Amino acid sequence: MNTSVKNVPAATDVARLAGVSQSAVSRAFTSGASISSKTRSKVMAAAEELGYRPNQLARSLLRGRSQLIGVVLGNMENPFFPLALETLSKQLNAQGHKTLVFTNEANQQADTSIEDMLNYRVDALILMATTLSSSLAEQCQAAGIPVVFVNRISHAMCCSSVTSDNEHGARLIAQHLVDAGYQRIAFMAGIETSSTSRDREAAFTDALIAMGREKPMRVVGHFNRTGAMQAMRQLLKQAQRPDAVFCANDHMAMAATDVARYEYALTPGKDIGIAGFDDIPHAHWPGYDITTYSQPLDALISQTVERVLSQSNQYDAIHTVVKGNLIMRSSTSPTN
């Protein structure tokens, strides 16, 4: 019964059954090819009967384009990444591309995963929360494979990037916290080597200093929940505890909120101001309601897709910055 012979039909089988050549079969499945509707329907009928489907591997091999886009993601614990992956995958699908995905330990170099992807001849690479060795970056350039970093800038000159406006956001947050009357303001960094965290910190610090404040207290939350909770405790157990914290992303801001509220019985907004960055949906859940700077995910991703799929100038590194907005919520209103 269960014969384990898998007999996947090929184009020649269809051709034989339909009484045409293999080329005709190929053309029947290629939109815009030169073929009469009569033979196309003959082919389609035969294909249907045999359960034929064109082998995309062979097609890719021949065309030199696999239609595969490699995506490397960081820590899935942060809701930003799954949401980004979802919109990315949908947009790529809509353009006829498939998504080859790797998840990576946060901020590690993704070299081995990427080598695997290159072996599959991906048409492009999209890297989120990852680094790329410069030797591999050069290989990508040599092979003509566009590489786009999302929300991270690489020192490798040949790679494009799409980021949200970290400077703008951090400046607005600083301004807002000062306006709201907070006095002792702290910053919670993400992963220290990431450009995202560094850019946000630099702009935040500069803005505070420009307004005559001191350099903020600083603590490191590593962009994950556990790290952020520890960092928050470190801040709150001090005698002179800060009265406001800007966390380098919303995911950490949520952890910070939980520590403040449930371990120190502080009411966010009133007793301590908490701000984040990203505007993930969770940031306006009633239990959090966190002031933040919005990263317009759709725009971010569509810019990324455009950069990746545009044939022209794929050798020039283009750095795109997408502006967002300050979203004020109750986590930073001392009067609530």
Partner DNA sequence: TGTTGTGTTGCATAGCTATGCAAAATAGTG
Partner DNA sequence: CACTATTTTGCATAGCTATGCAACACAACA
Q: Which partner in its own copies, DNA, none is near 35 (CB below 5 to 8 A by kind)?
A: DNA
Q: Which stretch binds DNA (CB under 7 A): 5-13, 108-116, 225-233, 255-263?
A: 5-13
Residues 170-199 that bind its own copies (CB under 8 A): none
Report the distance separating Cα 229 and Cα 291, nearest Å: 18
Out of 24, 173, 207, 229, the residue judged to bind DNA by CB under 7 A = 24
CB of 291 to its own copies, least distance (A): 18
Q: Per rule CB under 7 A, is residue 61 in the interface with DNA? A: yes
* Residue 275-314 contact track with its own copies, rule CB under 8 A, x = bound: ------x---xxx---------------------------
Is the Cβ of residue 59 or residue 213 nearer to DNA in the bound state?
Answer: 59
CB of 42 to DNA, least distance (A): 8
Q: Which stretch binds its own copies (CB under 8 A): 20-28, 76-84, 201-209, 237-245?
A: 76-84
Q: Per rule CB under 8 A, is residue 54 in the interface with its own copies? A: yes
Residues 26-45 that bind DNA (CB under 7 A): 26-27, 29-30, 33-39
3-state secondary structure the chain: CCCCCCCCCCHHHHHHHHCCCHHHHHHHCCCCCCCCHHHHHHHHHHHHHHCCCCCHHHHHHHHCCCCEEEEEECCCCCCHHHHHHHHHHHHHHHCCCEEEEEECCCCCECHHHHHHHHHCCCCEEEEECCECCHHHHHHHHHCCCCEEEECCCCCCCCCEEEEECHHHHHHHHHHHHHHCCCCCEEEEECCCCCHHHHHHHHHHHHHHHHCCCCCCEEEECCCCHHHHHHHHHHHHCCCCCCCEEEECCHHHHHHHHHHHHHHCCCCECCCEEEECCECCHHHHCCCCCCEEEECCHHHHHHHHHHHHHCCCCCCCCCEEEECCCEECCHHHCCCC
Q: Per rule CB under 8 A, is residue 258 in the interface with its own copies? A: yes
Q: Which partner in its own copies, DNA, none is near 143 (CB below 5 to 8 A by kind)?
A: its own copies
Out of 23, 95, 144, 237, the residue judged to bind its own copies by CB under 8 A = 144
CB of 5 to DNA, least distance (A): 12
Letter for the amino acid at 146?
A: P
Q: How far lies 238's CA from each of 41, 164, 231, 243, in Å? A: 77, 33, 12, 11
Summarize as ranges the residues that interact with DNA (CB under 7 A): 8, 10-12, 19-24, 26-27, 29-30, 33-39, 52, 54-55, 58-59, 61-64
Summarize as ranges the residues that interact with its own copies (CB under 8 A): 2, 4, 6, 8, 51, 53-58, 60-61, 66, 68, 76-77, 79, 81-83, 85-86, 89-90, 93, 98-103, 113, 115-121, 139, 142-144, 225, 258, 261-263, 281, 285-287, 315-316
